[in-house]
Structure 1
Amino acid sequence: MSAFADLLDGPRARGAFLLRSILEPPWSLRIEDRAPLTLVAAVRGEAWIVPGDAGEARLRTGDVAVVRGPDPYTVADDPATPPRAVVRSGGCATTPEGEDLCDALDLGVRTWGGAADGSTTLLTGTYRMRSEVDRRLLATLPRLLVLPADSWDSPLVPLLHEEIARDAPGQEAVLDRLLDLLLVAVLRAWFSRPGGEAPGWYRAHGDPVVGPALRLLHEHPAHPWTVAGLAARTGASRAALARRFTELVGEPPMTYLTNRRLALAADLLRDPGATVEAVAGQVGYGSPFALSAAFKRVYGVSPRDHRSALSAPLRD
């Protein structure tokens, strides 16, 4: 698995907040849900997304935006329209003064808005907890990105629009996976577009030295790698590999490997049957104590506490 495929394999929505909004100007929504990552797709009409610190962006029919949280932002028919509603944690909407709007604006299953025949239709999918999105992926993303409709060709937005208002057994699982797939497709298209600001690890895959080294680290993360061992496998000197890897990827090879191992451990711990000892062996640590120390140093919690957070009920 390549570093790119591995990183995009990280999103795992769990009971994601998904909503179809049908709106008629003037409208403006202040988003204060503190979500780590949100996708907004314009199915019909136009919208503006206004983050507090990243400049406003226009969203036309077919465009998809990715907003990195947790800071608040505004979605509106016009940047000058003052907020008419505030969306808080769990998807609850109120007036700016705090009056509940959920019942008043309910238009059916996962559908919300001022009028069923409004001129603007948006789809919103929100990852509600940081554990659902790899922290390395979040670190590569700008505060706001918009993928224009004419820069990619995908049936995913129409499919999500079709599925979002269905009320069938297992529908939440279907929608979670569609949201994950849409995020992966959008980011792949965005990173690959001409003139795109792809992160260093993405560009590094085409490098004749760093590319093979990255593939080795991802295919065999538990191997006792050293910079010298990697250099021997890639046909480069130790100094040349270390310098080139750090230049392109943004961190030294062994630091990258540590972060890769811990991210893999965090994912493996999602399995309630996996022990810390077993996970340690799978990712290249000689003991559960060694894994726990490294895990806590990077993530701030022990592997067991991380697992407990994953199994806790979703926050409202």
Structure 2
Amino acid sequence: MDVLSDVIAIMRTGEPRSARVEWRAPWGQQFPSAPGSAGFQVILQGTSWLLPPTGPPVPLSAGDVLFFPHGHGYAMADSPSTPVAEPQCDPAEIGDLFVSDSIAGTGPATVLLCGGYRLDPARTHPLLRDLPEVIHLPAGPGLPAELRAAVDLLGAEVHRPKLGAGSVVLALLDMLLLFILRAWFTAEHGRCEVTGWAAALADPDVSAALDAMHRDPAHPWSVAELGARAGLSRAAFARRFAALVGQPPLAYLTWWRLSTAGRLLRETDAPLSRIAGQVGYGSEYAFANAFKREYGLAPGKYRRAASAPPQA
């Protein structure tokens, strides 16, 4: 079981997209806001600058990784003084699974690997809501080896695809997202003052209870039983869990059960009775009522809406 992997599985919809773009100076590019998505930029070669909506420009060098978990807009350029052009490479709007292109002037080259993940805005997990506007993981000894390896493999596969590239790129994009978040939370755990979900994952007592809920959401968990898993009294556990996670244990359990049910409805054709049992409801009727309260739709209507082709 892995809470982080579970969260990504619930949030992700559709297939991710990626592009390897060679920018020749002078260049400046606006990347617009893309609600319901998360994007990344990796500097494969050369240098560039991140131009955030607020705050000073940030210098970037080869190997740096940027992650934008909330889909907010930003700009990048070869220099803070270069004018920024209208969007040409929006990670959220890349039509193909992966593309490779060359854009802009004739000066020194900067090669960026950009990409986007489509997320379900209706089921934003609080773990992701806690993340900052942008995560910057600088190149160097502190960058985890597995993240560097995923970047190198993904960049090479997108630039010169070989047999089976579609499957390889999809797997690498999933790995990259997990490695980015793992690196961020690992770095956060090492700080003196950690709050929110970073603190919840670092707390052995609360993480033990989260592990139990994610491992077996169908179990009829009580606060007392979860507290026993955490090695705490019922009251002490409830206080600590709510302080770190942001909601009481059983409220989070209900939210997680119904989020899991939503994914099963979208991605499988399992009957409602089986899904109800998998997420801890003793009857299809009880499950349907709880699901409708959470989503505003009956499970059957939700499944039909999720499977309907998009409107032209």
Report if the CA contact (8 A) 1:24-1:120 is conserved: yes
Q: CA deviation at 1:206?
A: 4.7
Percent identity between the aligned chains? 38
**How far apart in 2 are the matches of 1:214 and 1:164?**
37
Question: SS where residue 127 of structure 1 aligns?
Answer: strand
Contact 1:28 1:77 (8 Å CA) reproduced: yes
Runs of 4+ aligned residues of structure 1 deviating over 6 Å after TM superposition are: none
Corresponding residue number in structure 2 for 1:264: 260
Q: In the aligned structure 2, how far is the partner of 1:128 from the partner of 1:147? A: 22
Partner of 2:274: 278
1:189: which partner in 2?
183
1:163 paired residue among 157, 163, 167: 157
Give the match's secondary structure for 1:155. Answer: helix
Aligned to 2:120, which of 121, 130, 143?
130
Identify the structure with the greater helix proportion: 2
| CA deviation after TM superposition for structure 1 residue 209, in Å | 3.4
Going from structure 1 to structure 2, the CA distance change for 1:137 and 1:206 (only over 3 Å counts) comes to closer
TM superposition shift of 1:171: 2.9
Query: Secondary structure of the equivalent of 1:124?
Result: strand
CA distance in 2, matches of 1:134, 1:65: 20
1:55 Cα deviation after fit: 5.8
Unaligned runs of 5+ in 2: none
Contact 1:19–1:164 (CA under 8 A) maintained in structure 2: yes
Asked if 1 retains the 8 angstrom alpha-carbon contact of 2:130 and 2:197, the reply is no
Indicate the SS of the match to 1:256.
helix
Tell me the TM-score normalized by structure 1. Answer: 0.80
Mark the CA change 1:241 to 1:15 in structure 2 (over 3 Å): closer, same or farther: closer
User: Counterpart of 2:237 in 1: which secondary structure?
Assistant: helix
Distance in 1, Cα, partners of 2:242 & 2:20 = 43
| Cα distance per residue 1:194-222 (max 9 Å; x no partner) | 32886534433454532332222122211
Q: Is contact 2:18–2:99 with CA below 8 Å preserved after alignment?
A: no
Equivalents in 2 of 1:68, 1:138: separation in Å? Answer: 7
Number of equivalenced pairs: 301
How much does 1:310 deviate? 4.8
In structure 2, the CA distance between the partners of 1:230 and 1:17, relative to structure 1 (3 Å rule), is closer
- Matching residue's letter, 1:114: A
The residue aligned with 2:80 is: 79
For the residue of structure 2 that corresponds to 1:188, the secondary structure is: helix
- Structure 1 window deviating more from structure 2 (67-76 vs 250-259): it is 67-76
In 1, distance between residues paired with 2:231 and 2:237? 9
Any stretches of 5+ residues in structure 1 without a counterpart? 93-107
Alignment of 1:33-112 (within 5 A): 34=34, 36-53=37-54, 56-87=57-88, 90-91=93-94, 109-112=99-102
Q: Indicate the SS of the match to 1:110.
A: strand
Aligned partners of 2:26 and 2:105 also within 8 Å: no
CA displacement at 1:258 relative to structure 2? 1.4
- The answer to whether the Cα contact below 8 Å between 1:204 and 1:249 also exists between their aligned partners in 2 is yes
> 8 Å contact 2:31–2:74 — kept in the other structure?
yes
